[in-house]
Amino acid sequence: MKILYGIQGTGNGHMSRAIELLPEFQKHGTVDVLISGEKNLLPLPFDVKYRFKGLTIGMNERGKLSFSRTFAQNHLRPFIHEIRQLNIEKYDVVISDFEPITAWSALMKNKECVGIGNHFSMMHPNVPMPPEDRKFARFITENMVPVTDSIGIHYEAYNSQIETPIISREIKNMKTDEQGFILVYLPAHDPNYIALVANSLRNQQYEWRIFTPFVKQKMQFSKRVVFHPLSREEFQKSLATCSAIISAAGFGLTSEALYLGKKICAIPITKHFEQECNAAALKNLGVYILPAFNLKHSADIDFWLARVMPVKMDYQDNSREIVDKALCLAQKLEFTAEKDPVKKKFLSLIV
């Protein structure tokens, strides 16, 4: 069996999940890996056959989704060229971890494609939703990666089509401790502004370790604020020994923090449908959610540090079950894309 495994490269969570799932897929046949949109810290322990630009999301300096930057960074013609370039007909099974090139190429050639990932869980009933009605953001999420069926991944198994997070062996084997510092990972935010908020707090007992793409080497901003460049090894060490975590509401890091029992303050990216859905689910679990990271919320951060308890989730190893389910879906599906007018319209541009 020849399997094509498409991975969204714009987040560490997709890569971390692939590292666990790929060996299970390889038990069933030859697997070629495709990655598009690479923006991650993980060294990859596997070969990558295809690399594409794919699609990406644009952010502003305050960590908010920017539609203007998103449209500026993505061009339809190169994207269509990448879809056409992929020879997907030679594969028996096509899997997409929210990777659009594999999904659209499969759609063009009338091949089934099974999706695996957190984004796909948002389309199922019983999944917590944000209070704001994000119709356009939901529309984009539903149509960006057009799979014929999917396995959702979420913090809880809200129904039979959703599995709990895949926790890496690295995290499961991690020896944890609390060494009196806060791990901060808000890569779209200006680190100087994060430091300004940190120094405005009444609670000054914690060091703030801010991992940011805006510095190339470690920098001491103030007595209790340190900037760190993006380094997978140093980040994992800090994850194991931090007393608390401030991050966006990305699925990968928050899932690992829940498994490790770390105190979390999550700030969803504004108008980012997946992160706002994640935030709604995290809030139900007891995780502290801030609508934005700024000076207006300094008192809220002080409250979180003083009063909010960590939440711990005991996630079991489910990699084999997810792969088995995905392969069963891939071999039983019937193609239904012609019934969807949105996907049919885009197909007319590709073919």
Asked whether residue 126 carries a pLDDT value surpassing 60, the answer given is yes
Kindly report, residue by residue over 315-332, the tens digit of the pLDDT. 999 999 999 999 999 887
**Portion of the chain with pLDDT greater than 70, in percent:** 87
Q: What angle is formed at CA 100 by the lines to CA 40 and CA 73, rounded to 5 degrees?
A: 65
Query: Rounded to 5, what percent of the chain is helix, strand, coil?
Result: 40, 20, 40
> What are the CB-based long-range contacts (under 8 Å, 24+) for 217-225?
221/191, 221/192, 221/195, 222/195, 224/198, 224/199, 225/195, 225/198, 225/199
Asked whether residue 76 carries a pLDDT value surpassing 80, the answer given is no
Higher per-residue confidence, 158 vs 137: 158
Asked whether residue 289 carries a pLDDT value surpassing 80, the answer given is yes
Domain spans of the chain, in order of start: 2-166+318-350, 169-307
Q: If you classify domain 2-166+318-350 with CATH, what class do you get?
A: alpha beta
Mean pLDDT to the nearest integer, 258-286:
95
- At 131 the pLDDT is 85
Quickly count helices (H) and strands (E) in the chain: 14, 14
Kindly report, residue by residue over 22-36, the tens digit of the pLDDT. 999 999 999 999 999
**Portion of the chain with pLDDT greater than 90, in percent:** 70
Asked whether residue 337 carries a pLDDT value surpassing 60, the answer given is no
Mean pLDDT to the nearest integer, 119-123:
90
- Packing angle of the helix pair 12-26, 251-260 (nearest 10 deg): 80
Cβ burial of 16 (10 Å; 0-12, 13-18, 19+) is buried
- At 180 the pLDDT is 97
Q: Which two tokens stand for residue 27?
A: 């038990």
Higher per-residue confidence, 341 vs 280: 280
E strand or H helix at 326, and its extent? helix 319-332
Measured in whole angstroms, the distance separating CA 123 from the mean position of its chain's CA atoms is 16
Kindly report, residue by residue over 179-191, the tens digit of the pLDDT. 999 999 999 899 9
Higher per-residue confidence, 70 vs 119: 119
Query: What is d(CA 284, CA 64) in angstroms, rounded to the nearest whole number?
Result: 23
- At 199 the pLDDT is 96
Query: What is d(CA 172, CA 205) in angstroms, rounded to the nearest whole number?
Result: 29
The answer to whether the CB of 10 falls within 8 A of the CB of 250 is no
Q: What angle is formed at CA 52 by the lines to CA 155 and CA 212, rounded to 5 degrees?
A: 55
Query: What is d(CA 20, CA 23) in angstroms, rounded to the nearest whole number?
Result: 7
Mean pLDDT to the nearest integer, 123-144:
82
| DSSP structure string for 253-288 | HHHHHHHHT-EEEEEPPTT-HHHHHHHHHHHHHT-E
Asked whether residue 11 carries a pLDDT value surpassing 80, the answer given is no
- At 144 the pLDDT is 85
The answer to whether the CB of 3 falls within 8 A of the CB of 32 is yes
Query: What is d(CA 264, CA 275) in angstroms, rounded to the nearest whole number?
Result: 15
Query: What is d(CA 241, CA 245) in angstroms, rounded to the nearest whole number?
Result: 11
2-166+318-350 shares its CATH topology with 169-307: yes
Kindly report, residue by residue over 207-243, the tens digit of the pLDDT. 999 999 999 999 999 999 999 999 989 999 999 999 9
Asked whether residue 335 carries a pLDDT value surpassing 70, the answer given is no
Higher per-residue confidence, 324 vs 58: 324
Lowest mean pLDDT among 170-179, 256-265, 339-348: 339-348
The segment with the largest mean pLDDT, out of 28-42, 72-86, 279-293, is: 279-293
Domain 169-307 in CATH 3.40.50.2000? The answer is yes
- At 193 the pLDDT is 96
The segment with the largest mean pLDDT, out of 5-19, 111-125, 128-142, 275-289, is: 275-289
